[in-house]
Amino acid sequence: MSRQVRALLAGACMTAVVACAGSAVESTPPPAVAPQVPELKPGVPAGYLGRALPDSLALVPQPPAPGSSAFAQDEAVHKAAQALRNTPRDTLATSDADLHFPHAASTFDCALGKTVSKDATPRLYLLLQRTMVDGGMATYKAKDHYKRQRPFVHYDEHTCAPGEEAALRNDGSYPSGHTAIGWTWGLVLVEVAPDRADAVLARARSFGESRLVCNAHWQSDILAGRTVAAGAVARLHTDATFRADVAAARDELNAAALADSTKCAAESALVSPITGAL
């Protein structure tokens, strides 16, 4: 996750998020449209947690040192992932790199078996937007502390998103923000659609591993991103507004249209684990 994305997630309104969080009443029936929420900037909803994020520096160990056996594992997985460039898996990885909405809202359509959109599932759409902020921002205490070099810089290679490489060069690799976002979404969506848990978590795993294919992260960055996401979701459960939105999203999803079967047939062949990745 680049500093451009960080700028999208962070902002002057973060203090206001803390003041506004928890204002919804959990027993209130969900409205037909998404409720008003604080914004980081016009059109970009704030997260639920504000500054009450988990401490990623306390949650994850130091990244593997060059020359260590753990770094050798990172290098081995990097090699396996780069063998997938210019394949359909690379196409999925490039799609997963784009965190902008409405594109990102469709990430879990096939795993859920339903189509997610701002018009048809407004509370679920908003839930994904807000938890993206919490999961992504939770990685930055460790990112800024370790300032780990990304694999494409280490090897003098390229990523699946060349236009973002200048920003990524100065953005810490550890933990992976994209992975934290994807795993946060996965854990939240399991509560929205518990009957689809296996498919949702498999897609959340593959979303993080797309960063390996994109050459933007090491495997250890991915694993640390999942840990941070788990911490963020644990915090989210203390927020009444979040819990109400999960319940409303569950009702919306039950009535949503089925996902595109053609798209899902193609995606199903691409979400298996990358060789050597954990």
Give the residue numbers annotated as catalytic, written as ranges.
178, 211, 217, 221
Token pair for 178: 């994209």
Whether the Cβ atoms of residue 141 and residue 14 lie closer than 8 Å to each other: no
Residue type, 63: P
Compute the distance between CA of residue 147 and CA of residue 171 in angstroms, rounded to an integer: 7
Query: Could you tell me the two tokens for 102?
Result: 């409405």
C-alpha distance from residue 33 to each of 29, 120, 121, 205, 210 (Å): 12, 9, 8, 30, 33
Give me the residues paired with residue 41 across strands. 44
Residue with tokens 């062949």: 269
* Residue 257 DSSP class: P
Rg (C-alpha) for the chain, rounded Å, is 18
